[in-house]
Amino acid sequence: MKRKSISTGFFIAVLSLWSLFSGTTVAGDTKLVDRIVAIVNDDVITLSELNKALEPYAKQIRSADYPPEKARGMLFKLRQDILNRLVDQKLTDQETERLHVSVDDKEVDQYIERIKSEHFLTEEDLRKSLAAEGYTLEEYRKRIKEQILRIKLVNIEVKSKIAITEKDIRDYYEAHKEDYQGVQKYHLRTILIRVPPSASADQRQTAREKIETIVKEWKSGAAFDELAQRYSQDITAASGGDLGLFTLDELSAEFQETVRRMDEGQVSPVLQTPKGYQILMLEEIKKIPGKTLKEARIEIHERLYRELVEEKYKAWLNALRDRSYVKIIQ
């Protein structure tokens, strides 16, 4: 079985390390020292902690070739978002301590074993993946424990207080009947040749000619999925450009108009999108039958439950902030 990799985003979701810069001598006796960027009741968040959580996301923005002004705006917003998330984590950690919520080593072991199983990782693979992100297994265990504590806290403070009634389910079904009628879904594949925003006219022309050559290969009998694997610069390339199933209203306006006019097995004209030059292949039009209230009941219950959990969690977190001392230091 092929092993799956664990993305930076996954690790950062559970790892917000408490790490301090050591003093480093620069000119003369001047020292680089850490500083506080937020006070959360009796705890603080340091600049180094914020930078550690921010860096993987910031690296993605810097490498995406955005115009400088846009990149600066995105980095500024990202910094505020990450700082707010760290504040929320501090608040929930303090609340778990106040309520004496606990997690034992066995629970942490089971959680990590599940992660290893889902990603087809051995113990050594996990350690290597963590090391590549700059973490040790011991640090990872500590942050997994914190994550489980937060989950338990949400179960106590939010989930245990939510009840979905049969009337709620019936009312939702009646209000969203169109969602449970029969629909058509379109199975799409794509090939993308990227064109950065800063590309010159010659670079754009080269990209255009490349995708037109790919279209000619397809017309000559080459399989679309093989062409996607060979040429596409989209993240779906490895799966033969497979985008999956979509209803028309799930697609962008441009894609809607294009797909609406296509037949099964047809490839679209070359489309100019924000990513570059792109073609679509309509592999299949699939008719999805509708669902009765009885057939949709479990799905609706899960949807309402998720929505309520999110709504109640945000309200609970806002209330927690209101009764806490939080000061952001710019």
- Which two structure tokens, joined as six digits, stand for 247? 């209803």
User: For each successive 10 residues of the chain (330 residues), what is the average pLDDT?
Assistant: 41 35 35 82 94 89 87 93 94 92 93 90 89 86 90 91 94 91 92 90 94 96 96 93 93 91 95 93 92 94 93 93 92
pLDDT value at residue 183:
85
Q: DSSP for 17-81, please give it.
A: ----PPPEE-STT-EE---EEEEETTEEEEHHHHHHHHHHHHHHHHTTT--HHHHHHHHHHHHHH
pLDDT value at residue 77:
94
- Which two structure tokens, joined as six digits, stand for 191? 């090939």
pLDDT value at residue 4:
41
- Which two structure tokens, joined as six digits, stand for 79? 């910094």
pLDDT value at residue 23:
32
Residues in Cβ contact with 48 at an 8 Å cutoff, skipping those fewer than 6 apart: 19, 20, 21, 34
User: Domains in the chain, start-ordered, CATH in brackets?
Assistant: 8-157 (1.10.4030.10), 183-288 (3.10.50.40)
pTM: 0.54
CA distance 95 to 168: 31
Q: Write the single-letter amino acid at 147.
A: Q
Q: Which of 200, 189, 207, 192 is nearest to 280 (CA)?
A: 189
CA distance 243 to 251: 11
pLDDT value at residue 182:
84
Distances (CA, A) of 91 to 13, 41, 162, 248: 16, 8, 22, 42
pLDDT value at residue 143:
87
Say which residue the tokens 């439950």 belong to: 305
Yes or no: say if 61 and 71 are a contact pair by the CB < 8 Å rule.
yes
Beta bridge partners of 284: 187
